[in-house]
Chain A
Amino acid sequence: MSRSKGAIAGIGELKPQRLTQGVTTLEMIAEVSRLAVLDAGLEPAAIDGLLVGPQVGETPQHVPATIAEYLGLAPTMANVVDLGGASGAGMVWRAAAAIEAGMCETVLCVLANNREEAAPRSPNRNPIREFDVPFGASGANISYALLMQAHMAEYGSTARDFAMIAAAARANAQLNPDAIFFGKPADVEAVLASPMIASPLHLLEIVMPVAGGEAVVVTSAGRARSLRKPPVHLLGAGEKVTHRAVSQAPSLTSGPLKSAMARAFRQSGTHADEMDLLSLYDCYTIMVATTIKDAGLCAPGQFGAWLNDHDLSHKGDKPLNTHGGQLGFGQPDLAGGMTHVVEAVRQLRGEAGERQIGKAGLALVTGNGATMSEATALVLGAA
């Protein structure tokens, strides 16, 4: 296996909530950053790198400086990572690269969002706004419905195949007391009986938007070994960005994660079948179906059969999204992608409690932004 490109030394997570009242995103960033730095056993002054997400509405510009000032940091590397749901995974790779380039030594990667009752509609002026919205296609649901319909037509996948993904996520969420759907399982029948939002997409195949926050601390492998928690190493990564609007997607049934994952496996000298944990971005059920195929875990058109053949729980042969995925945990906006990183770290440290997987040596983490547009894949390894 390849050498470590850097390590995750600390993690922080806020319990998701449906709505916040009078709480700013900055406040939530502060809370979750503190958790991650404490977990790493570091002093705040040790943070000399800062990666943050865009903050539509609250802080349109100068986001890193605003957050650095708020947290009392004076980083020697600061940047915005704007890759939608791939931002979290994208931050981890960028942090490791910045450390290797000598820009800094220890990077705080943080994403959070409040969720107020009456959020204003985004005042976009871009090609999607001009050429999709006037025809009745606003929002991600319709875009993913178009991907799902294409998948069904090309591979003969069924509504039940997709529903199994949502049901498995809900089942795993029953072991995560912080998950928004903890105590609320939903079986395949319940998923199929939920309202049709945009055919063939049912309500329970769509993530629940929540407020929340996630943070990780990335440092060099050497430094991580001297810290409080066992390091989780970045062994390989890959990324690709192909389009923004679904109409401009090069393919509706395969995405940029395919080459991103292939690169991550190549860099790390690993293979999809060796992963002890699959921490796969799941904004919609279709995203998991496409990722499983694009990873090479199943043959094209075989994902339904693959699901039937494998146990996706923490006790199973293919643990997938043991925190419940975003379908079970809730999607704290851009931080949603980072939940897949944080859970992988917990599992690879052996800290996942009653949902701890057995052998925990390697994890695949994927991030996906917009409509299968922005893709980042990480292969993480235990100390």
Chain B
Amino acid sequence: MSVDLNTLKTPGPTITALTAPFWDAAAEGRLTIQRCEDCGKAVFYPRPICPHCWGRRLVWKDASGRGRLKSFSEVHKPGHPGWLPAAPYVVGLVELAEGPTMLSFILPGTQSLHIGAMLLLSPTAIGGRILPAFKPVEP
């Protein structure tokens, strides 16, 4: 992967009024997710009600940006043609320290990737917008 990710013609997010705070924060290099004031659980992706208790008192909180790699794949044949110039690239399932799991783009590290690897938020310009990507924590 030597291409400048920011020049890719990749599909961006389909933002709604509800999800805008997540993407606004992403543009500023932050990862913000909802937290339920009723049951205390963190929620990803954004919703109008908490999927754990159906409470409506959801507030935005910046996440720590720490996560653990639950699984990953090196994509050789992307599902969308906009990603072809970047292949092979890695996507992974990131279990955030706050609890929920999100799918993200995993930046290359110096060592080979393994499940269980510790990750850190690494905002990255992809396709003309800054996305909350992650990178492995180097020992």
Contacts and interface: CB of A to CB of B under 8 A. Distances in A.
A130 B73 contact: no
A246 interface: yes
B79 A131 contact: no
B83 A136 contact: yes
Interface string B37-65: 00000000100000000000000000000
Contacts of A248: 101
Contacts of B76: 195-199
A289 to B, nearest CB: 15
Given A145-B75, A195-B76, A195-B77, 20 more contacts: A127-B45, A129-B11, A132-B103, A134-B126, A135-B104, A136-B10, A136-B89, A136-B91, A136-B126, A137-B75, A137-B91, A141-B77, A142-B91, A146-B91, A150-B71, A153-B114, A199-B73, A200-B73, A246-B103, A248-B101
Contacts of A130: 13-16, 19, 45
Contact of A125 (B14, B73, B79): B14
B78 A136 contact: yes
Given A135-B91, A245-B103, A198 B73 contact: yes
Interface in A118-152: 125, 127, 129-139, 141-142, 145-147, 149-150
Interface in B100-121: 101-105, 114-116
A149 B72 contact: yes
B12 interface: yes
Contact-residue bracket for chain A: 20 to 34
A76 interface: no
A201 B103 contact: no
B36 interface: no
B70 A134 contact: no
B137 interface: no
A129 B103 CA distance: 12
A141 B72 CA distance: 12
A246 to B, nearest CB: 7
Contacts of A142: 73, 75, 79, 91
B45 A139 contact: no
